[in-house]
Amino acid sequence: MDYDVILIGSGFGALTAAALLTKRGLKVCLLEQAKYPGGCATSYKRKGYWFETGATTLVGLDDHMPLRYLLNELELNIPVRKLEPPMQIHLPNRQTITRYGNLEEWIAEAEGVFGKYKQREFWEHCYQVSRQVWRTSLEQRSFPFSNFKDLLLSIYRIRAAQFNLLPAAFNTMQDVLEKYGLHQNQLFVDFVNEQLLITAQNHAGEVNELFGATALCYTLYSNYYVDGGLINLVNPVVTYIISNGGAIKYGQQVKIVESLRKGYKVTTGKGSYFSRFVISGIPLNNTQELFSDKSIKKRLQPYIMPSEKLNGAFTMSIVLSGEIAPSVLYHQVHVPEGLPVIGSKSIFISFSHPKDGLRSKAGELVASVSTHVAHPEKLQITEKGQIGNAILEALELAGILKRESIIYNKSATPGAWIFWTNRAYGAVGGYPQYKSIKPWQMKDARLDHKGAYVCGDTVYPGQGIVGVCLSGIIAAEKLWQDHY
């Protein structure tokens, strides 16, 4: 065998699994079709500027959270800047609300904008659920169960407090809003729905309470900025893998994975590689197409989501000159009338830190803009200018930027995401949460119960750097548990 483990893609889930398995002495190789590592959690260089590829907000470094666990295991220290406050939201009524990182400050802010009625009770409840979810996620690394050993290990690791989370798996965030009588507060409902769309890819009526409470509370944990972009979160992990005997090969788009009597043959456009185990770090839609083993295709089919259930993104990479950096770097702007063509009702924008000299020149700011595109396969965007102008108009109206300050502006559609990342339909953000799919019904890390595994944002637990990091931890744990 060329390697113990071949990983398809170098998204943060695959990088996490590769690093943890490298630490345990396995010889790993990541095959990446692009020229940068990190997938949707990285940065790319264009015209001398560093832009974020997808994710921009960095959380997960607090105690009992996956990213902290990973960096502690690898003994890595990532230089970061803590953001306080983490975000501002520009609401449909033109009010601006600041998402403070301190719970008491945030409750006071929410009461001032949405009214005092039940805001404290709602947010204290969500925060309590989110804290327990994060603690449980690392304690129960055999979840979701797919063999008897998983179940035994989970029973061994169980704590009484974990039972308190069970009812939340059957409730939606709409149920929680109704419980506290907040479902008739339309301004608050709009706020909750657009915030959930960022982190859970769906609205309150579909997102279950476990994921929804955790998603709504991510600004109540430490939020960070990485100078030079998220590539500088990714690169130390890559360096760790290589320095410990692993490898990463770029420009290697995997064409087919074949199951052998012992191990796997992974063929790219540049040759074939052999390994004892394989981990797919790409979406389930893409993973299903790669494996020649019909039993794997059949096993994956119940978990595959079609385009009509997914989201793509319309993105803009912007450089501003002579503009004063905003005091808050992350903003969500509501567009109640919806953007033309795509109908999205909110825009997310992040700015480079004014003291970050790696992403742009002095006196310049880099901004990354994104908004959702539902059913990306169906909607063929031919005229980007109309959407881009509407986005800039909304950002200018919110007082976030001035169009005359823009010296570079490049827009991209889901079609560009297909070209950049090869993700099916150009879908980004992972699989959305749906109330019909309980956490234990999400795809777990095993593909064939022989030596093939999967991680990333389309399997449990889902979206965001911290979520895919956890999926990589679970994939590495289950591989080791099964074979060593």
pLDDT band at 166 (very low <50, low <70, confident <90, very high): confident
Say yes or no: 399 and 290 in one domain: no
What's the pLDDT score for residue 156?
Answer: 84
Tell me, yes or no, whether 313 and 408 share the same domain.
yes
Query: Any long-range contacts for 414-418 (C-beta under 8 Å, 24+ apart)?
Result: 414/312, 414/313, 414/314, 414/373, 414/376, 414/379, 414/381, 415/380, 415/381, 416/315, 417/312, 417/313, 417/376
Q: Are residues 234 and 132 in the same domain?
A: no
C-alpha to C-alpha distances, 256 to 251, 265, 266, 269, 453, nearest whole angstrom: 15, 8, 6, 10, 15
Number of domains forming the structure of the chain: 3
- Examine the domain organization and report whether 302 and 442 are in the same domain: yes
Q: Decide which of 221, 239, 263 is a domain's last residue.
A: 221
Residue with the two structure tokens 């825009």? 347
Same domain, 382 and 449: no
Q: Is 213 part of any domain? A: yes
Residue 28 scores a pLDDT above 80 = yes
Which of 197, 221, 245 lies at the terminal end of a domain, its last residue? 221
pLDDT of residue 101 exceeding 90, the answer is yes
Residues 319 and 422 in one domain: yes
Tell me, yes or no, whether 86 lies in a domain.
Answer: no
The pLDDT value recorded for residue 465 is: 92
Q: Are residues 118 and 182 in the same domain?
A: yes
Tens digits of residue pLDDT in 388-419: 999 999 999 999 999 999 999 999 998 888 88
Quote the pLDDT of residue 207. 97
Residue range(s) defining the domain that contains residue 270: 3-45+54-79+227-306+434-483
Q: How does pLDDT run across 256-302, given as a tens digit for each residue?
A: 999 999 999 999 999 999 999 999 999 999 999 999 999 999 999 99
Q: How many CB atoms lie within 10 A of CB 361?
A: 10
CATH number of domain containing 289: 3.50.50.60
Find out whether 219 and 82 touch, Cβ atoms under 8 Å. no
Question: What three-state secondary structure class fits 121?
Answer: helix
Q: Are residues 300 and 444 in the same domain?
A: yes
Q: Same structural domain for residues 145 and 236?
A: no
pLDDT at 289: 95
Q: Is residue 240 part of a domain?
A: yes
Can you spell out the DSSP letters for 328-377? SSEEEEE-TT--TTT---EEEEEE--TT--SSS-TTEEEEEEEEEEESTT
Residue at which a domain ends, from 378, 401, 426: 426
pLDDT at 55: 63
Residues 302 and 438 in one domain: yes
Would residue 311 count as lying in a domain? Answer: yes
Instruction: Say yes or no: 126 and 23 in one domain.
Output: no
Q: Exposed (0-12), middle (13-18) or buried (19+): which is 29, by Cβ within 10 Å?
A: buried
